[in-house]
Amino acid sequence: MRLYWLIAFLLIPLVGIAAPQQFREGAHYQLVTPEQPRKPNSKVEVVEFLWYGCETCFVIQSDLGRWKNTRKDTVDYQRMPAITNEGMIFMARVFYTAEVLGIAEKIHQPLFEAIHKHRRQLNTEQTLAAFFEEQGVGQKDFHQAFRSSYVAGKVRKARTTGSRYGIAGAPTIIVNGKYRVDSSMVTSPEELIAVMDFLVNKEAANKI
């Protein structure tokens, strides 16, 4: 979402990634205050706050996907739409529409690619209905889900949850309800992953 970060990590890095022991609170991550509850789980909870209109979110998806697969024995990975202003509500509704229709995983990457790779203007209910139809969802079913009280309720809850975590935009990563990492605190996708690993390992060690 922040253009300067997107440009910076698309270019050849001029500065190396800090070693894990050099990751510091206030520099590479922040504490969530107050610490937020999470589901009882033997795994470390990681929540990715994203916005489909965010190009940085799109760019880091492959890195996050690979990381998630390597940490699946340790991490309970979740996604949630970031809502920090009124303009982000529309895509949050799309996120939960896909969820209620049971195609959240199927549509996740194609939707990002349609917006950022193919530059499709998916910014109205009608254009989204046509896109969902391409993914096998009837337009009537799309409209019914998009306008449902369930989706509206989930959007309200996501906005409240993001506020409790103190997110300022997308992408933002929350680790175990305790730590917050956003794109202003790292210089590349690789450093983001390294910070996430550092924090997950820290929390996993506390569970032993």
Is residue 61 a part of any domain in this protein?
A: yes
Q: How many percent of the chain have pLDDT more than 70?
A: 89
CA torsion sign, 35 to 184 to 170 to 57? Answer: negative
pLDDT class for 176, splitting at 50, 70, 90?
Answer: very high
pLDDT surpassing 50 at residue 181: yes
Lookup result for tokens 């254009």: 127
Mind listing the pLDDT tens digit for each residue in 1-12? Answer: 454 445 545 543
| 92 Cα distance to chain centroid | 11
Compute how many other C-beta atoms are within 10 angstroms of the C-beta atom of residue 50. 27
Q: Which residues are paired to 45 by β-bridges?
A: 76
pLDDT class for 41, splitting at 50, 70, 90?
Answer: confident
Domain count, the chain: 1
Structural domain that includes position 182: 29-207
pLDDT surpassing 80 at residue 17: no
Is residue 24 a part of any domain in this protein?
A: no
Coil, helix or strand for 84? coil
Identify whether the C-beta of residue 57 lies closer than 8 Å to the C-beta of residue 25. Answer: no
pTM of the model: 0.90
CA–CA separation, 70 and 2 (whole Å) = 27
Q: H-helix or E-strand containing 90?
A: helix 89-100
Is residue 11 a part of any domain in this protein?
A: no
pLDDT class for 39, splitting at 50, 70, 90?
Answer: confident
Is residue 23 a part of any domain in this protein?
A: no
pLDDT value, residue 14: 42
Is residue 7 a part of any domain in this protein?
A: no
Is residue 3 a part of any domain in this protein?
A: no
pLDDT value, residue 38: 87
Backbone angle region of 72, left / alpha / beta, with phi > 0 → left and psi within -120 to 50 → alpha:
alpha
pLDDT class for 208, splitting at 50, 70, 90?
Answer: low
Is residue 115 a part of any domain in this protein?
A: yes
Tokens of 197: 């690993």
Is residue 10 a part of any domain in this protein?
A: no
pLDDT surpassing 60 at residue 67: yes
The enclosing domain of 151 has a CATH number of 3.40.30.10
Q: What is the mean pLDDT of the chain?
A: 92
pLDDT value, residue 6: 54
